Copies of this chain bind each other. A is one copy, B any other.
């Protein structure tokens, strides 16, 4: 079959952008693809997805998750976070060029752009340097128009209704 590395974007204000990327990782892993998840924004250290990915990784080391260490941005930590974003993009470049992966998920990378830690040329250069067979997934709300322009598959996750609106607290194992 003709192998064509897809540029995939999950954006919008709804739930499911990262969750659908995790589902994609699961499917791709099962199909024998080598999958790397780069989390641009720090996640919970004991999250369900980390534990489940650990199980898959013990079975075959063809799935990996790495934290790029960006936290939530405040006025006070902006300079520090900008430095972290630089390291994160360098890590992404290195992994993209490594030839070690068939699918790389750049989780919440759009967030780093939205808040001015990364700019459009930095994001687009990741696409330009990639081997043509590598699939790349960009998640996060407010995806750049330039990113949507070059992407192959773009889905907007749109919030129709959220349990918070009913006063229900976030449910462990489901929402986080």
Contact = CB atoms under 8 A, between A and B. Distances in A.
How many chain A residues sit at the interface, stated as a range, is 35 or more
A27 B31 contact: no
Nearest to A26: B52
A14 interface: yes
For this chain, the copies found in one complex come to 2
A159 B163 contact: no
A20 B31 contact: no
B171 A6 contact: yes
Interface of A: 1-4, 6, 8-12, 14-16, 18-33, 47-56, 58-60, 102-103, 135, 148, 151-163, 166, 168-169, 171-175
Given A21-B23, A30-B173, 4 more contacts: A4-B169, A6-B163, A20-B157, A148-B161
